[in-house]
Amino acid sequence: MIFLIIKRILLGFITLFIVSIITFVGTEVLPGDACTTYLERQAFGEQLEACYRRLGLNVPAYERYVSWALNAIQGDFGYSLSGEMPIKDVLGPRIKNSLVLASAAIFIGIPIALILGIITALWRDKLPDVAISTVTIFAMTIPEFISATLLILIIAIWLEWLPGIVIVPTDVSFLELLPNIILPVVAIAMIMTAHMARMVRSSVIQVMASEYVQMAILKGVPYWKMVFKHVLPNALLPAINVVALTIAWLLGGVVVTEVVFNYPGLGRLVIESISNRDLPTVQALAIILASIYVSINLLADLLTLMLNPRLKTLQIRK
C-alpha cells in the first residue's frame, strides 16, 4: 500500500517534469521572445542586448531551464514581464480567488448533484425523474457563456439584485468579495451539477439493477436500508474520480465564466498572460495547473483504493 502511494507520487512528479519541459520548449520555439515582444519596434541593437542580459536570455536554453526549474521548486517563478513584479505575487491572490470560487461551487454543487442524481435514479421514469432530468439536460446543454450572460441580464440588469461583473481589486477580503461571486458561482454550479447528477443517476440505476440488490430485496431488507447499505456505497465509488476531475477543472480556472464576469481568477490570468506574451507567467501557470490536476487525481485514486475493498486486496496481494 505504502509502496503504491510512493509509486504514484513519483509518477506525479515525472508528469510534472515532462509538463515543464514541454511548456519550456513550447515557449522557446515560438517565433520572437519576451524581449522582442516587450521592446516592440525598439527591439534591436544595444537595447535588445540589455534586455537579454537583464532577463538572463543570453545563456543557452538548457541552462535557463535548470535555473528556472530550481527556482520554481522553491516557489520563485521569476518576474512577470507586463507588471514587472514577481510572478508569485501575481499568482497568490489569483489562486486565492479561484479557490474561493471553486470551493463555493463545490460546496453547493456536489451535494445538490448527489441528491438529484439519487432521487432521479430511485424514482426512475416517474414524475420526479422526468422533471429533474429535463432540467438537468437543459442545464447541461446551454453553454456557460449563454447562461452566464442570461444571469447577468436577468439578475443584475433587470432585477438589479447583484453586481453583474466583478469590479473589485484582486486582493479584497472575502466578505467584500462575497456578493460579487454569487452569480459566477451559480453559472458554474449549474452546468457542473447537471453533469454530475446525470452521472450519479446512471451509476445508481446500474447498481439498482444488479443481482446483489435483487438479493437484498429478496432477503427482506427494508427499502431505505437497502439503498444506504447496498446501493449507495457501490454506486458512488465511480463518482469519486468524476468529482475529482470537476474539482481540478474548477481550480484550474473556468476561463469563460471568469472572462464574462470579469472575475480575477486563474483562468483570466491565463488569457491575459497569453495575449500579453508574458511567457514566464504562462510557464508558471502551466506548471501550477498541472500540479493541481496531478495532485487531485492522485488523491481521488487513493480515496477509491481506500473505499473499495476489492482494489485494496488486489494491491496488497501484488
Partner 1 sequence: MTDIIQKVKNLSIGFRSKKGEEILILKNISTNIKKGETVGIVGESGSGKSTLALAMMGYVKHGLYTIGGECQFNSSNLLRMKSKDLEKIRGRKIAMIPQNAGQALTPNLKIGYQIDEALQLHSDLDEKEREKKISELLNKVRLPSPETIALRYPHELSGGQQQRVAVAMALAGTPDLLLLDEPTTGLDVTTQAHVLELLNFIAKDTGTSMVYVSHDLGAIAQVSDRIIVMYSGEIVLEGPSRDILKRPIHPYTHGLLKSIPKLSLAGLPESMPGSQPQPGTIQSGCSFFDRCNFSDENCKNNSPKLEFLKNLNTSVRCFNYEKLVNESQASQTFNKIKNKSQDKEILNLSEVSISYAKQKLLDQIFNRISDDNPTVKDININIKKGETIALVGESGSGKSTILKSIAGLLRTKDGLIRFDENRNLSSDLKERDPNDLRIIQLIFQNPDESLNPNHTVEEIIAQPLKLYFGLKGEELKKNIIDLLQKVRLGEFYTSRYPRQLSGGEKQRVAVARAFAAKPDIILCDEVTSALDVSVQAAVLNLLQQLKEDFGTTYIFVSHDLAVVRAISDRVAVLYQGRLCEVGPSNDVYKFPSHPYTEVLLGAVLEPDPDIKPKLVAEDIVEERPPEKGCSFQGRCSRIVGDICKKEIPPWQLTDSGNAIRCHIPIKELQKEQF
Taking residues 160 to 199 in sequence order and writing x for each that binds partner 1 by CB under 8 A, - otherwise, the string is ----------------------------------------
Q: Of 16, 69, 172, 217, which lies in the binding site for partner 1, with binding defined by CB under 8 A?
A: 217
> How many residues line the site for partner 1 (CB under 8 A)?
25
Contacting residues for 270 by C-beta, under 8 A, at least 6 apart = 253, 255, 282, 285, 289
Q: Tell me: does residue 215 bind partner 1 (CB under 8 A).
A: yes
Q: How far apart are CA 132 and CA 119, in angstroms?
A: 9
Q: How far apart are CA 304 and CA 83, in angstroms?
A: 43
Q: How far is the CB of 125 from partner 1 (least distance, A)?
A: 10
- Rank residues 162 and 221 by Cβ distance to partner 1 and give the closer one: 221
Provide the 8-state DSSP code for 86: B
All three cell numbers of 139: 442545464
Residue tagged 460579487 (cell numbers): 180
> Residues 163, 164, 167, 171: what is their CA dihedral angle, to the nearest 10 degrees?
80
Q: Tell me: does residue 221 bind partner 1 (CB under 8 A).
A: yes
- Rank residues 167 and 218 by Cβ distance to partner 1 and give the closer one: 218
Check if the beta carbon of residue 181 is closer than 8 Å to that of residue 166.
yes
DSSP track, 164-209:
SS--S-TT--HHHHHHHHHHHHHHHHHHHHHHHHHHHHHHHHHHHT
Taking CB under 8 A as the criterion, which residues in 291-310 touch partner 1? 307-310
Check if the beta carbon of residue 200 is closer than 8 Å to that of residue 239.
yes
Q: Tell me: does residue 228 bind partner 1 (CB under 8 A).
A: no
All three cell numbers of 214: 435483487
Query: What b-and-e string marks burial along 111-140, b requiring 16 or more CB atoms within 10 Å of the CB?
Result: ebbbebbbbbbbebeeeebeebbeebeebe
- Rank residues 41 and 318 by Cβ distance to partner 1 and give the closer one: 318
- Rank residues 8 and 96 by Cβ distance to partner 1 and give the closer one: 8
Q: Tell me: does residue 240 bind partner 1 (CB under 8 A).
A: no
Local structure of 60: helix, strand or coil = coil
Q: Tell me: does residue 222 bind partner 1 (CB under 8 A).
A: yes
- Rank residues 208 and 243 by Cβ distance to partner 1 and give the closer one: 208
Q: Of 45, 169, 220, 224, which lies in the binding site for partner 1, with binding defined by CB under 8 A?
A: 220
Q: Of 94, 198, 201, 230, which lies in the binding site for partner 1, with binding defined by CB under 8 A?
A: 230
CA nearest to 252, candidates 280, 288, 200:
288
Q: Tell me: does residue 7 bind partner 1 (CB under 8 A).
A: no
Q: How far apart are CA 181 and CA 163, in angstroms?
A: 9
Q: Of 14, 130, 209, 306, which lies in the binding site for partner 1, with binding defined by CB under 8 A?
A: 209
- Rank residues 85 and 307 by Cβ distance to partner 1 and give the closer one: 307
Q: Of 212, 228, 274, 306, which lies in the binding site for partner 1, with binding defined by CB under 8 A?
A: 212
Q: Of 85, 138, 233, 306, which lies in the binding site for partner 1, with binding defined by CB under 8 A?
A: 233
Binding footprint of partner 1 on the chain (CB under 8 A): 209-223, 229-230, 233-234, 237, 307-310, 313
